[in-house]
């Protein structure tokens, strides 16, 4: 598997996360019960870093071998 193919896999894996976050935000806006609100906020807080990391890795793997591409220090050895 090439890094370009891996990049597409990260992009595809991010789609359900993005949809779930959208759904949770909609439910949060409609929620009135404090326990439900806490649950939705907690789940959003758990999923947001996952989506961010998937987006960062998709970008990194898509352009890893491009000349002049600045790589984030977070993902270098």
Q: How confident is the model at residue 75 (pLDDT cuts 50, 70, 90)?
A: low
Length of the chain: 77
Q: Structure pTM?
A: 0.82
Are residues 75 and 56 in contact, defined by beta-carbon separation less than 8 angstroms?
yes
> In the prediction, which pLDDT does 61 show?
86
Q: Is the pLDDT of residue 77 over 60?
A: no
Q: Say what the pLDDT of residue 76 is.
A: 63
Residue 45 burial (10 A CB sphere; 0-12, 13-18, 19+): exposed
pLDDT, residue 1, reads 86
Q: How far is CA 48 from the centre of its chain?
A: 6
Residue 51 to residue 11: CA distance in whole angstroms: 10
Over the stretch 6-58, which tens digit does the pLDDT of each residue have?
999 999 999 999 999 999 999 999 999 999 999 999 999 999 999 999 999 99
């Amino acid at each position: 598997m090439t890094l370009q193919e891996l990049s597409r896999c990260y992009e595809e894996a991010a789609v359900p996360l993005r949809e779930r976050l959208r759904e949770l935000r909609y439910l949060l806006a409609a929620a009135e019960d404090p326990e439900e609100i806490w649950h939705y906020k907690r789940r959003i807080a758990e999923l947001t870093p996952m989506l961010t990391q998937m987006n960062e890795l998709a970008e990194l793997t898509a352009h890893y071998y491009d000349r002049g591409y600045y790589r984030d220090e977070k993902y270098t050895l």
